[in-house]
């Protein structure tokens, strides 16, 4: 269940990153840059949580996947 929530959060962050990238010829303002940095940090954290939640049952049971 945790991995599904982390996957959903990664998808939400991808959409956020897509919308904060400026269009051609438009200068990026401070708020778009801050949103991009924050979204990237949240996406990295969600991806880490997803990987750990998918690999931890295999590690704790003594067999890999």
The token pair that represents 30 in the structure block: 């401070």
Q: How far is CA 53 from CA 16, 22, 28, 38, 46, in A?
A: 24, 34, 36, 23, 10
pLDDT above 70: residue 64 = no
Neighbour tally for 52: CB within 10 Å: 13
Looking at residue 64, the DSSP 8-state letter turns out to be -
Categorize the per-residue pLDDT at 62 as very low, low, confident or very high, splitting at 50, 70 and 90. low
Given this model, what pLDDT does residue 55 score? 81
Given this model, what pLDDT does residue 59 score? 60
To the nearest 10 degrees (0 to 180), the angle between helices 2-20 and 30-61 is 160
**4-60 pLDDT tens trace:** 888 888 888 888 888 887 777 777 788 888 888 888 899 899 889 888 888 877 666
Given this model, what pLDDT does residue 60 score? 60
């Amino acid at each position: 269940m945790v991995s599904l929530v982390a996957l959903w959060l990664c998808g939400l962050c991808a959409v956020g990153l897509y919308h904060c990238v400026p269009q051609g010829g438009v200068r990026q303002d401070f708020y778009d840059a801050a949103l991009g940095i924050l979204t990237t940090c949240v996406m990295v954290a969600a991806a880490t949580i997803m990987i750990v939640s998918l690999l931890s049952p295999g590690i704790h049971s003594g067999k890999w996947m």
